[in-house]
A and B are shown apart, each in its own frame.
Chain A
Amino acid sequence: MEPVIVAQDIRRSFRSSKKEEGKNSTWKYLLKPEWVEHHALKGVSFSIEPGAFVGLIGANGAGKTTLLKIFSGLIPPSSGTARVLDQEPFKRSLDFRKQISLVMGQKAQLWWDLPAVDAFDLLRAIYEIPEKTYRDRLGMLAELLDVQKLLNTQIRRLSLGERMKMELIGALLHWPKVVFLDEPTIGLDVLAAQKLREFLREFNRREKATIILTSHNMDDITRLCSRVLILRSGEMLYDGSPQKLTREGEKRLRVRLQEQPTLEQLAATTQIPIERITFPKPEDADAGDEGEGTLPAAYLTVNSQTLMPTLQAILAKYTPIDLGIEEQGLENVIKRLFQEEASGITKRP
């Protein structure tokens, strides 16, 4: 099957002026500004098959939104090739624009003072959707998102979640083949986010639309995406299934010991390779995990078979203060990846 989205060595840089503190710097900034080049994407390559639901993850500034803007044709790559639906997005051909949709959680496109149904009618005219098809689609989308009774209410009178649902309907009325969703559940409560997720899953299943979703909410990714792309500082860190990332069956054993053994001593005791044991810095540890003045905890990556022997080995040699077993959830894995970038893993001195 021909890929619907192709990225080949995409690079994108932005130039911005830099202003330092102080009065003198203001004059310098006005007369001779200093320019700084920021590399948002540093050679990203991948391809996506039709009908895929792909999650795009990364910390703030990792390059997710930049990548979506390139794919939707808003900005060109500085170098490399982006192709969507066998077209060059930045040419923004009429045919291309009719087949894609970009939903940015922070950029509303509906009319604030008008009911959603008026804005939808305008979109019907823009995308030249036949009247009956439009009615059927609007009915289906409104039912899936449970907003039938709100279609005639002014947008400004709707809650954030309801507005987001309307934005989504507006973005999908023309039945795009490729949908880019940039944090669609931002600011939504748990129920609204869940409803939106159910809807997206159903839309992807029914219409076979290719969807790329960026989100900081790992629930969105784990529940919807069969494939995850992780960006870190503009580089592709991981491309694969969420299951492979979390290594199903693996757990994280947290131990805080009276004796404070070194990394090597702990590895020798437990027979677990050194690279699978970490001592996160106190500030990087989970909230509430390590208070001030408490001994740092070690994290050992174990599987179901090695869990008990590892525990027995630790208990035979050391006195535990605290023990715990954590699931290798996607959120934890991603969090650790981001922490590695921010501060690096500290080895026990």
Chain B
Amino acid sequence: MSTLRLGWRWAALRNGFLDATAYRVEFLIEVLGQAVVPVITQLVLWYAVFKLGGATEMAGLSYSDLILYTLTSILFSQIRGGDHDFELAEMIRTGTLSNYLLRPAGAVEFVYIRGSAPKLFLAGVCLVVGMIVGAIFGGIHPERMPAAMLMAFIGNIIHYQISAAIASIAFYWEEAYSVLMVKNLFVSLLSGELIHLGIFPEKWKWVWESFPFYLYVFGPVQYALGKWTHVEFFRALALSLVWLAVGWALVRISWGIGTRRYLSLGG
């Protein structure tokens, strides 16, 4: 039986972090840009609805509830996904996947570990920030932050697994960019990153509950803010582990079939 070889995974993680932060200013702008733009959009929207429109409540949520949700979601939306799904599709299309297929390390796993390094770093930073902010200003439960962050990171893995399975379309169509883009738009909406999922009409609740996306941002935020009970959290965590297993199977099957069709184009 082969043993789990941690050695290369650790080295890939380290190199991934060094690579992502080779241009520090670029890295910081990317992080801040991704965090600030959706938040400003939401803040403007809630201001318009509540202050200018005169609403006092929306789907049982007050202005301060939504503002607190929006600000807390910054801590978890940073962990959600990266661009490595696009990278996988591009590697298939251009033939650079060949370099990875020949190494005694799984190509999909390697790309994930390399790309997740900066996300892990951000998860650590956001965890600390969340705990400090919660302890000083309240709102966020500091003792719940580690578990909430764990769920967000499992969400990151599930997101990559689904993305990698979708990227394997490139084995058939050579290009998977549009499908991945559409997937990302749905994820932005259904993860709770753009809007609080409680705003969805009750009869449409099943839509976001049918996907694992709400476990990326909405679930962790709800738990960190004390809106979910421990039981609700652990039920969601168990569900995320099921999705993790489903994602693993999806990747195994899609890439197992896909790499048999791989043409290694491009010289």
A residues lining the B interface (CB < 8 Å): 14, 65, 69, 72-76, 92, 94, 97-98, 100-102, 104, 106-107, 109, 111, 113-114, 118-119, 121-122, 124-128, 154, 182
Contacts and interface: CB of A to CB of B under 8 A. Distances in A.
A114 B263 CA distance: 29
27 contacts: A69-B98, A69-B264, A74-B101, A94-B2, A97-B102, A98-B104, A100-B102, A104-B98, A104-B267, A106-B266, A107-B95, A107-B99, A107-B267, A109-B99, A111-B19, A113-B19, A114-B22, A122-B8, A122-B12, A122-B15, A124-B11, A126-B11, A126-B103, A126-B104, A126-B105, A128-B5, A182-B267
Given A113-B23, A121-B11, A125-B8, 18 more contacts: A14-B263, A65-B267, A74-B98, A74-B102, A75-B263, A94-B104, A97-B102, A97-B103, A98-B104, A102-B98, A102-B102, A104-B98, A106-B267, A107-B267, A114-B22, A125-B11, A126-B11, A126-B104
Contact of A73 (B19, B95, B102): B102
B10 interface: yes
- Which residue, of B7, B23, B103, B105, has the highest number of chain A Cβ atoms within 10 A? B103
A254 to B, nearest CB: 36
A65 B95 CA distance: 13
Given A100-B102, A126-B105, A107 B96 contact: yes
A338 to B, nearest CB: 19
B262 interface: yes
B127 to A, nearest CB: 27
Interface string B1-20: 01001011011100100110
Closest 8 CB pairs of A and B: A113-B22, A125-B11, A109-B99, A125-B8, A126-B8, A125-B7, A106-B267, A74-B264
Contacts of A125: 7-8, 10-12
Contacts of A101: 102
- Which residue, of B5, B12, B101, has the highest number of chain A Cβ atoms within 10 A? B101
A107 to B, nearest CB: 6
What's the dominant secondary structure at chain B's contact region? loop
Contacts of A126: 8, 11, 103-105
What's the dominant secondary structure at chain A's contact region? mixed
B264 A75 contact: yes
B5 A75 contact: no
Contacts of A109: 99
Contact of A127 (B23, B101, B104): B104
Nearest to A92: B101
A102 B267 CA distance: 13
A126 to B, nearest CB: 4
Contacts of A65: 267
A267 B34 CA distance: 80
B185 to A, nearest CB: 25
Contact of A119 (B7, B15, B101, B263): B15
Contact of B18 (A72, A98, A114): A114
Given A75-B263, A106-B267, A128-B7, A114 B99 contact: no
A72 B103 CA distance: 11
A107 B102 contact: no
Contacts of A69: 98, 264
A130 to B, nearest CB: 11
B15 A114 contact: yes
A72 B19 CA distance: 28
A69 B99 CA distance: 11
Interface string B158-175: 000000000000000000
A113 B260 CA distance: 31
Nearest to B101: A74
Contact of A72 (B15, B23, B102, B267): B102
- Which residue, of B98, B104, B105, B262, has the highest number of chain A Cβ atoms within 10 A? B104
B18 to A, nearest CB: 6
Contacts of A154: 22
B264 A122 contact: no
A65 B264 CA distance: 10
Contacts of A121: 11, 15
Contacts of A113: 19, 22-23
A15 to B, nearest CB: 10
Nearest to B100: A109
A72 B95 CA distance: 14
A154 B22 CA distance: 10
A216 to B, nearest CB: 13
- Which residue, of B7, B102, B263, has the highest number of chain A Cβ atoms within 10 A? B102
A128 B11 CA distance: 12
Contacts of A107: 95-96, 98-99, 266-267
Contacts of B262: 74-75
A76 B260 CA distance: 8
Contacts of B12: 122, 125
A61 to B, nearest CB: 12
B104 A97 contact: yes
Contacts of A118: 15, 18
A76 B262 CA distance: 9
B79 to A, nearest CB: 23
Nearest to A174: B104
Contacts of B104: 94, 97-98, 126-127
Contacts of B22: 113-114, 154
